[in-house]
Chain A
Amino acid sequence: MTLSHETVNVDGWLEAGDRLAGGSLTLLGLWADPPNVKMAMLDEASGDINIITYACRHGQYPAVGVKHPPAIRLERAIRDLHKLDAIGASDTRPWLKHTAPPYEFLAAEGEALHQIAVGPVHAGIIEPGHFRFTANGEFLVRLEARLGYVHRGIEASMVGVTLDRAAMFAARGSGDSTVAYGLAFALAAETALGIAAPRRAIYLRALMAELERLANHFGDIGAICNDASFSLMHAQCGILRELTLRAAEACFSHRLMMDLIVPGGVARDINEDGVAQLRALLAEVRRVFPHLTELYDNTASLQDRTVTTGSVKPEYARQFGAGGFVGRASGRDFDARRRPGYAPYDALKFDVPVLTAGDVNARVWIRIREVEQSLALVEQILAALPQGDLRIDLPSRGGDGLALAEAFRGDVLVWLRLADDGSVARCHLRDASWFQWPLLETAVEGNIVADFPLCNKSFNCSYAGHDL
């Protein structure tokens, strides 16, 4: 992969927008580094990433979202956070900012239609988000999500602090993906400084990332089944998730492995007795998980709920550049571990499962297959774990860098610019959920109201990672 930077004028910016709309490039991120706006685009065939920078004039830049809808919410967020306006934008409502006058939801008109407002406080203990359904009896005709309830100002807090402290902020972007966030931030910082972490640290990072993926996938598979009221899978997957977290604690003394990945390496080594517990975990999962897969596949009442429910069209997955199981269940063959790719995955053998059905069932199966791949990866990492340093000292210099890391739900993008003293001048984190939330709105169309929780759980988008 190559990373290229370009500063463009109006024509260059608009041409980039056309290429995104035409489908030859995929939008990776659109963010502001006032007074500039930056856009990262991926060439899916080669894995090349191009970052273009446009210097805003009078706080304005040409809207990309009019031609390429995935950019709309990013542009709205830029205006809320940095007061830079997208000129010609079709949707000028605020996005993350909640102080403005009452939010106007998009209209869906018809005689028998009625609205159902759900959230931001839900009956279960989940993250806050508001969903506005327009339904005809039980059938959904439109869903519009309203997010931003957990905006904590993480990006603003990172300005001017040291890299180590900024890494702690990044690790709190979305708690369930704390390893992936830490990894993406560390990779971006290392790119900016032109250094690389020691080999042992690289392997330990991958080990943590795969353990996090395992724990989350177990949790998701069980939770999806539980939303169809099949609590047996939930209980059994809950046991596997707990065992994974306990193995993580035995290895790294922290169940979620927070703050262990730092720019320049890892904060601590793996505990010796943790390795034995990790091998026991692998054996246990290999013994139990096939039975659970079989149970999922053979329970007709469960299959009746998941098959053909909440389908995401492949063209939407491609247009929005949806990462993770949402994209891969709808035919988008993309995994940041493989392309653009980062160490040590180039030296490890793993498959990226891809399905085309795009329904809840497909998203469950992608997770099941990824669990199997992650098990194999953990084994390979344990076998190949090199000896050596854990961390190198960071030079104090400026620069900017971008990195993608594959979290369990998709690619996390981190871009940062360092000041000359090595502190963070501006950092942008982009969760995979930015491009998955809009697809959820398309997936539920034509489904019934009571199936929304199932669709939503199969996406399992992050609220915190999106709102930051």
Chain B
Amino acid sequence: MAVITDFALQGAQMLLVLLMAPLLTGLVRKMKARLLSRQGPPLLQPYRDLLRLMRKDAVLADNASWLFRVIPYLVFAATWVAASLVPTFRSGLLFSWTADLIAIIAVLGSARFFLALAGLDAGTSFGGIGSSREVMISSLAEPAMLMIVFAIALIAGSTQLSTMAAFMNSAEVGLRVSLGLALIALTIVAVAENARIPVDNPATHLELTMVHEAMVLEYSGRHLALIELAASLKLLLYISLIACLFAPWGISPAIIAPLPILIGVAAYIGKLTVLGALLALFETSIAKMRVFRVPEFLGAALMLALLATLLRFVSGSF
């Protein structure tokens, strides 16, 4: 019986992230539009877009290899798995022993590696530009992300997300400078990883300025749908990660009771809304930076994370 419930809860988590991801994207778009005095598309528009793309034929470049066709599924699967591992409404799920932060980064890293290959595969100049820019950004974002993991793991004593979340929710954690630095660093990395302004613009039509969009420019139909869904999932993942590590309130403990789970789901939706709104506000108030400013931006994240780790070494109370 317990096994069935565990499976059901883990399944619910997987379905929840999959179903919520387009809604979060729609919410951020809607809020950005409202901030710009526009009506904006309906909240459910991303679902409609995905359905529309699913129904369309996929157009493939003549010289695209089998890799090009496989990669959308790979990227989607990897991102979905990663997103399902982050505790959202309940900790201690069936697979939570695999929910190691370093493992999640590795899964996302492989997804990106394949996407960059797909960008190069069709041999167009935009795909090449996009892949080279994406790899430049990720080569800076990933070390920063690992450094953030170390900083938090040193405090929480684990890289396992359920344990980290439980620790963060306890009175033990207190106010720590190093956690503040890690939060800022994680936010910067999240912005860069999700191709948001000021690093990239998800809504641009200017092919020469694109990073992520240029890489996937050759995709269409169901392939594009999977990649768009993966992008939405990734945004949800990072927001969930920030919520789980720095605002773990309301996450249901690993007991089987309906009320804590309901509270957990409600708290999770509330956190997504608030963080999504903050993202929309931030994106509206800033212009995109030059491509060569991105290393400085991500360098700041790396330095902050490094500082957080060092502070922790200097004194246990930081």
Contacts and interface: CB of A to CB of B under 8 A. Distances in A.
Interface string A109-129: 000001111100011110000
A44 to B, nearest CB: 36
Interface string B10-53: 00000000000000000000001001111000000000000000
Interface residues of B, number: 30
A304 B208 contact: no
B287 A115 contact: no
A301 interface: yes
Contacts, number: 80
Nearest to A451: B290
Interface stretch (B101-109, B148-156, B199-207): B199-207
A229 B288 contact: yes
Interface in B208-253: 208-209, 217
A301 B291 contact: no
A124 B290 CA distance: 21
A154 interface: no
Contact of A305 (B125, B204, B287): B287
Contacts of B87: none
B208 A229 contact: no
A235 B125 contact: no
A449 interface: yes
Interface string A91-120: 000000000000000000000001111100
Interface string B101-135: 00000000000000000000000011001001000
Interface size range on A against B: 20 to 34
Nearest to A236: B37
Contacts of A452: 208
A301 B286 contact: yes
A225 interface: yes
B289 A304 contact: yes
B198 A118 contact: no
A138 interface: yes
A301 B209 contact: no
Contacts of A229: 197-198, 201, 204, 209, 287-288
A114 B124 CA distance: 12
B56 interface: no
Contacts of A123: 205-207, 217
> Taking each of B36, B126, B207, B287, which has the highest tally of chain A beta carbons within 10 Å of its own beta carbon?
B287
A137 B207 CA distance: 16
Contact of A232 (B217, B284, B289, B292): B284
B125 A117 contact: yes
B293 interface: yes
B125 A232 contact: no
Interface string A61-74: 00000000000000
A304 B285 CA distance: 14
Contacts of B290: 304-305, 448, 450-451
B288 A305 contact: yes
B175 to A, nearest CB: 30
Contacts of B197: 229
Given A118-B207, A123-B207, A235 B38 contact: yes
Contacts of A34: none
A230 B287 contact: yes
Nearest to A229: B288
A453 B214 CA distance: 15
Nearest to B35: A232
Nearest to B32: A231
A122 B208 CA distance: 10
B208 A228 contact: no
A450 B285 contact: no
For A117, A137, A234, A450, which residue has the most chain B Cβ atoms within 10 angstroms?
A: A450
B203 to A, nearest CB: 8
Interface in A156-172: none
Given A117-B125, A228-B287, A235-B38, A124 B205 contact: yes
B208 A453 contact: yes
B207 A448 contact: no
A125 B206 CA distance: 10
Contacts of B203: 231
Given A232-B35, A299-B287, A301-B289, 18 more contacts: A114-B125, A116-B125, A117-B125, A118-B208, A123-B206, A124-B205, A138-B291, A225-B287, A227-B206, A229-B197, A229-B201, A229-B288, A304-B289, A448-B292, A450-B208, A450-B290, A453-B206, A453-B209
16 contacts: A116-B126, A116-B129, A117-B125, A122-B207, A124-B206, A227-B209, A230-B286, A231-B32, A235-B37, A236-B37, A301-B198, A301-B286, A304-B293, A448-B292, A449-B129, A452-B208
